[in-house]
Structures are given as structure tokens and as C-alpha cells.
């Protein structure tokens, strides 16, 4: 069996780390009462512009090759960033926990695994399937001891599952487009078109209580720019590359690591605490991740 490309694994893990931080940065903006309808569109637009500049400077072809591809880009942008970011951020606001939010999003690999097998004929052995469920079992332990008092907690959980469906859908569109477009180009169009979807929200609710003193302060600019540069432009580009090389099913399993990293980072920066049971959950999840990558077949190149 040929070894999987190290760069693809590195790209997937880079994405995991950056997306884990995104929950913490977004949570800080929500704590300052910055509306979702403001910082999500700004994050999306800045990411698209940054990638356009990168592609322009490096000379990467950006022309959309067919009307069919244009429709794919339009639906890709609808799923992600529009539906996903809105659902994810409202879910975070209602559950009041970066770890719980990332945990619900981590159910993604099950749907993505089915999508990869059915839509793209990717091969996934029994040991890989067992690994997915072991991973998710470990992840539940990570947040098992956390108590929730928010009246909207379960509403938030329900909204987060909408984000999961949107995430799986965008992975399928990304895989379909990756044969003809560079990852940075796919993500560039994804965010530039996604900005258009956000405009009604931005100009109605996002700017309703705009306070230049607060919105342009470093406390707001720092997490917003970090979300745009690292969690959007960089993370989504590396994610598109990983999907192209490893395939939908295998890449999506890495999303299960996001809650692990989120929990650790939230613990390190003092935003949440971790118990012994949660650390056991981390170890179980890592075993599951290992099993998901013991594929008896070659990667989908």
C-alpha cells in the first residue's frame, strides 16, 4: 500500500488547528456583543479579497470554465460560507460553548463518509467506519461533564446540525470542482460569492447599532482579521487541497479532531476547563482517528 501524501495530511491538520481557534475568536466577538451579521460578512469579504490578491500575484488561472461550474460555485457559496457560518455562529451564541459547538460539528464525518462513498465511489473499509464511531465516542466524553444552563441550548444544537448538513454539501461541491481549479481559486470564488449572500444581513441587522469606537477597536479588529486571514483564507485553501488529494470521506474524518483541539486551546487560554474524563475522551478519539486512516486501498488522487 502506497503511503498517503504527507503534505495532504499536514494541510488537513493545519485546517483543524485554525478552525479550532475560530470558535474561540468568534466567541470573543460575541462576548463583545458584535452581531453575527456584521463580523461574518466582513470575515468572508476580507478572505475573498486576500485570496484574489494571492492568485493574481502568483498567476493562478481564475477564469470559470463553464456555466455548469458557475452554478457549482454559486451553490458552494450558498452552503459555505452563508448557511454554514450563520448556523454555526448562532449555534455558538445559543450553546455558549466553543467546545460543545465544535463537538456537534464533529458529527460531520458520518454524513461525509456516506457522501464520499455514494457520490464519489470512495472506498472506506470496515475498520475505517469503526474508527469514525470510536472517534465520535471519544469526542462526546470531551464535553460529557459540562453543564448547560442556557434556555436556548437545544435550539443552538439544532441550528448546529443545519451547519453540519451545509458542511457536507460544500465538501461535495469542492471535490467536484477540484479536478479543474486550484484550491485557492475555489475558495476565492466561494467567499466572494458568499459575500453577496450576506449583504442583506449586513445592511439590515449588521450595521443597525454600528459604533465606530467599538467596531474599529483592536479588540474587534484582531479576532475579525484573524478569522478572515487564518480561519477562512488559509484554512479553507488547505482544506480544499486535502479534499483533492485524500478524498471526501477520509478528509472529513479530520473534522472530528476540531473539538479536541478546541477543548485544549480553550483550556490553555483559560476560556474553559478540562476534566480527567475529558482527557480520556481525547485519547479515545485519537485512537479512532488512527483507525480511520488505516485504509486498505489507495487514496483518491
Distance CA 284, CA 141 (A): 9
- Model confidence at 121: pLDDT above 70: no
User: Does 215 score more than 60 pLDDT?
Assistant: yes
CA distance 242 to 261: 19
Alpha helices in 59-142 (DSSP H): 67-77, 84-95, 98-105, 108-120, 126-142
Q: Measured on CA atoms in the order 26, 31, 36, 40, is the torsion positive or negative?
A: negative
- Cell 456583543, located at residue: 33
Radius of gyration of the chain measured on its C-alpha atoms = 19
Q: What is the reported pLDDT for 115?
A: 66
CA distance 225 to 43: 7
* Confidence at residue 165, expressed as pLDDT on a 0 to 100 scale: 85
Average per-residue pLDDT in the chain? Answer: 81
Q: Which pLDDT score, from 0 to 100, does residue 202 have?
A: 93
- pTM summary value: 0.73
Contact residues for 118 (Cβ-Cβ < 8 A; gap 6+): none
Amino acid at each position: 500500500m502506497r503511503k498517503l501524501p504527507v503534505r495532504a495530511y499536514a494541510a488537513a491538520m493545519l485546517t483543524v488547528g485554525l478552525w479550532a481557534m475560530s470558535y474561540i475568536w468568534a466567541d470573543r466577538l460575541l462576548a463583545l456583543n458584535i452581531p453575527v451579521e456584521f463580523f461574518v460578512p466582513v470575515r468572508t469579504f476580507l478572505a475573498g479579497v486576500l485570496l484574489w490578491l494571492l492568485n493574481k500575484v502568483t498567476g493562478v488561472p481564475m477564469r470559470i470554465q463553464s456555466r455548469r461550474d458557475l452554478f457549482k460555485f454559486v451553490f458552494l457559496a450558498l452552503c459555505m460560507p452563508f448557511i454554514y457560518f450563520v448556523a454555526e455562529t448562532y449555534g455558538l451564541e445559543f450553546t455558549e460553548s466553543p467546545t460543545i459547538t465544535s463537538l456537534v460539528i464533529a458529527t460531520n464525518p458520518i454524513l461525509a463518509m456516506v457522501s464520499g462513498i455514494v457520490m464519489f465511489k470512495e472506498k472506506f473499509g470496515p475498520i475505517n467506519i469503526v474508527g469514525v464511531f470510536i472517534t465520535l465516542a471519544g469526542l462526546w466524553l470531551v464535553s460529557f461533564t459540562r453543564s448547560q444552563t442556557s434556555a436556548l441550548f437545544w435550539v443552538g444544537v439544532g441550528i448546529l446540525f443545519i451547519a453540519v448538513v451545509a458542511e457536507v454539501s460544500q465538501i461535495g461541491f469542492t471535490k467536484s470542482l477540484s479536478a479543474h481549479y486550484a484550491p485557492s481559486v475555489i475558495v476565492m470564488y466561494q467567499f466572494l460569492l458568499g459575500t453577496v449572500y450576506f449583504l442583506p444581513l449586513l445592511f439590515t441587522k449588521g450595521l443597525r447599532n454600528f459604533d465606530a469606537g467599538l467596531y474599529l477597536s483592536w479588540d474587534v479588529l484582531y479576532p475579525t482579521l484573524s478569522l478572515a486571514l487564518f480561519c477562512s483564507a488559509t484554512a479553507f485553501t488547505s482544506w480544499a487541497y486535502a479534499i483533492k488529494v485524500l478524498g471526501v470521506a477520509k478528509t472529513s474524518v479530520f473534522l472530528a479532531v476540531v473539538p479536541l483541539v478546541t477543548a485544549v486551546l480553550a483550556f490553555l487560554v483559560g476560556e474553559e476547563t478540562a476534566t480527567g474524563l475529558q482527557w480520556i475522551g481525547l485519547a479515545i478519539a485519537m485512537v479512532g482517528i488512527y483507525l480511520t486512516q488505516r485504509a486498505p486501498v489507495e487514496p483518491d488522487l
